[in-house]
A = this chain, B = another copy of it.
Amino acid sequence: MEKKAPTIKEMARTLGISISAVSKALNNHPSIGLYTKERVARLAQKLNYVPNQAAIYFKQKKTCTIGVILPHLTDHFYTSILCGAETEAMQNGYNLIMCQSYDSLAREKELVAFMQKNRVDGVLVASSKETINYNHFQALESWNIPVVHMARQPKQYDCHSVISNVRDGARQAVNYFIEQGHRRIAHLNGPETMATSRERHSGYLDAHRAHQLPIHPELVQQTDFSRERNKQIVDSWMQQDEFPTAILAFKDLIVLEIMSLLKQYYPDKKEQVAVIGFGNHQLLQYMDHPPCASIEEQPAMIGQRATSLLLELMQLPGEQRSTSTTALDCKLVTYERP
């Protein structure tokens, strides 16, 4: 029962031939006689020989491994990215090694070091919300390990990235609000440090400008994603005489939290406030009172495209890796009230 994996060396000894003969026989090298090949094949079969990939990769000086750094695995958005990446990587013979930064910059730096130690062939990353400089990723690239940023794009430096066109997504949502007659539209955004927050806000502004609607600065707030902070923001808005009748939120989960806060603390006003967020979570369709719409992104496609881009980059020598940004469309999905 308890066996160790057989090696070509052992097989060579058993058969009384050289190691290289066994190796060549296994690889169907033309210079090996049929008889020998058959002997080797039979023995390999019998011992259930499986070549040691680790050794092969080691010799080839590559690991056929892609490192993936994500903020969280508890967020459906990131697991969808992971899902797309896994599919694409596996199809091309690459493994994924996956880890979570927990949205901590310190941890992210550790993970980058970890990736370098492990000599992954490339890295996919959705950087943490704390990440404001990208030196650690640049270091990785300077070691000839290409990096593709997913979803969260560093504006500060020129990098390879695949993101959602959240600016347009936000624009669509606010346009929809305006079409529906809303004039006081709030934006419950994510932290300013995240490029994706700034992009969202640009879209919000775009739509206002296009319709020549004034911006009310007090209607633009940033959350740290905590329920307390969200409540504080909603309170600040709803306690105004002219409270906003529409809210663009960072993502669906926050939409739901807003709606739950409204229901609990402002039940009489709840029906007057429309809310839209990013994500279009699978379960929204099952709600009796879903948000009026949701901005659907394509996270699995982000993962897939990022992986495919990374695979291309890995073929190229460093100097030829010209940077590019792919922005995938967002789609506004509306939910009719029953």
Report whether A3 and B144 are in contact in the complex, using a CB–CB cutoff of 8 Å.
yes
Q: With A86-B73, A86-B98, A319-B2 in contact, is A286–B53 under 8 Å at CB? A: no
Residues of B near A213 (CB, < 8 A) are none
- B119:A5 contact, CB within 8 angstroms: yes
B interface footprint on A31-71 (CB within 8 Å = 1, 0 otherwise): 00000000000000000101111110110000101000000
Q: How far is the CA of A80 from the CA of B74 in the complex (A)?
A: 6
Interface residue A11 (Cβ < 8 Å from any Cβ of B): no
- Interface size for chain A: under 10, 10 to 19, 20 to 34, or 35 or more residues? 35 or more
Question: How far, in whole Å, are A289 and B72 apart by their CA atoms in the complex?
Answer: 29
Docked-complex contact B50 and A113, CB < 8 angstroms: yes
B318 touches A1 (CB 8 A): yes
Using known A-B contacts A4-B144, A73-B82, A289-B288, determine if residue A97 contacts B96 with beta carbons closer than 8 Å. Answer: yes
Which residue in B2, B53, B55 is a CB contact (below 8 Å) of A144? B2
Mask, A267-288, CB within 8 Å of B = 1, is 0000000000000010101111
CA distance A205 to B48 in the complex (A): 45
Give the chain B neighbours of A317 by CB distance below 8 A: 2
Q: Using Cβ atoms and an 8 Å threshold, which residues of chain B touch A318?
A: 1-2
Which residues of chain B have C-beta atoms less than 8 A from A195's C-beta? none
A288 to B1, CA, bound (A): 57
Nearest-CB residue, chain B, relative to A76: B76
- Report the minimal beta-carbon distance from A130 to chain B, rounded to whole angstroms: 19
CB-CB under 8 A from A92, the residues of chain B are none
Checking B79, B97, B283, B319 against A73 with a beta-carbon cut-off of 8 angstroms, the contacting residue is B79
Q: Are A256 and B286 in contact (CB under 8 A)?
A: yes
The 10 nearest A-B residue pairs measured at CB: A73-B83, A256-B286, A2-B318, A79-B79, A53-B117, A95-B97, A288-B288, A53-B118, A283-B283, A58-B58
Add 7 more A-B contacts to A1-B318, A73-B86, A82-B98 (CB < 8 A): A2-B142, A54-B119, A76-B79, A90-B99, A96-B97, A96-B99, A288-B289
Give chain A's interface residues, CB within 8 Å of chain B. 1-5, 48, 50-55, 57-58, 63, 65, 72-74, 76, 79-80, 82-83, 86-87, 90, 95-100, 113, 116-119, 139, 142-144, 253, 256-257, 259-260, 281, 283, 285-289, 317-319
A-B contact pairs, 11 of them (CB 8 A): A1-B319, A2-B144, A2-B318, A3-B144, A52-B117, A73-B82, A96-B99, A97-B98, A256-B286, A281-B283, A287-B288
